[in-house]
A and B are shown apart, each in its own frame.
Chain A
Amino acid sequence: GAGVSQSPSNKVTEKGKDVELRCDPISGHTALYWYRQSLGQGLEFLIYFQGNSAPDKSGLPSDRFSAERTGGSVSTLTIQRTQQEDSAVYLCASSLVGVGRESTDTQYFGPGTRLTVL
């Protein structure tokens, strides 16, 4: 496919359960981002992967959140012991990172996963 894909599109879970959200970036894109979009909160950066470098986890809200990126492609965002405040749309984006200080990089977003924690 040509775009970023995410699965599942919707996920309903019970409080305390673990969930895994998947992101398939655009082929060849070296950078991958996770964001959370909550009602009234806007878009919140969670984590960033670039190639084989250590990820930038500065946006993760708690240690219940973690993410992996296997083989520099597919990424999984895991939320352990989900809480009701985790309910949100989780968006993934990918980009082709340039070399140097040119900050014109464009991020392409997936359709998101809507997570509802009951």
Chain B
Amino acid sequence: AQSVTQLDSHVSVSEGTPVLLRCNYSSSYSPSLFWYVQHPNKGLQLLLKYTSAATLVKGINGFEAEFKKSETSFHLTKPSAHMSDAAEYFCVVTRYSGAGSYQLTFGKGTKLSVIP
């Protein structure tokens, strides 16, 4: 079984300050991990993904995430928040479950607000 816990349902930061969105996972297998972003009334957009090639993953829009196996964490960070970063962010763990099937588990999401 696998699970994803996003530790904060809502994070508020000032424009220009760092962003930290926390994600912990549980998986019996070596997982692949993703962060998706969803802007209001828009679909989910892939920010970045971890596939065991490197523990520090760089994504779009200046975001990055570090896979820490010892802490079972995959926190999302950005050095300086921009107003356009205000959105909901989802941490996702996925594993191949055979016969071409992928099991995905989504976290409940973290809503990021950016204060001018």
Contacts and interface: CB of A to CB of B under 8 A. Distances in A.
Interface of A: 4, 30-31, 33, 42-43, 45, 48, 50-51, 53, 56, 91, 93, 95, 97, 101-112
Q: How large is the interface on B (under 10, 10 to 19, 20 to 34, 35 or more residues)?
A: 20 to 34
Interface of B: 31-32, 34, 36, 41-46, 49, 51, 90, 94-96, 99-102, 104, 106-109
A53 to B, nearest CB: 7
Contacts of B107: 42
Contacts of A91: 43-44
Given A42-B107, A42-B108, A43-B106, A103 B43 contact: no
Given A42-B109, A106-B34, A110-B43, A48 B101 contact: yes
A103 B31 contact: yes
Instruction: Tell me the interface secondary structure of chain B in the complex.
Output: strand
Which 10 A/B pairs are nearest by Cβ-Cβ distance? A103-B96, A109-B44, A43-B106, A42-B108, A111-B43, A104-B51, A109-B43, A50-B100, A103-B32, A97-B100
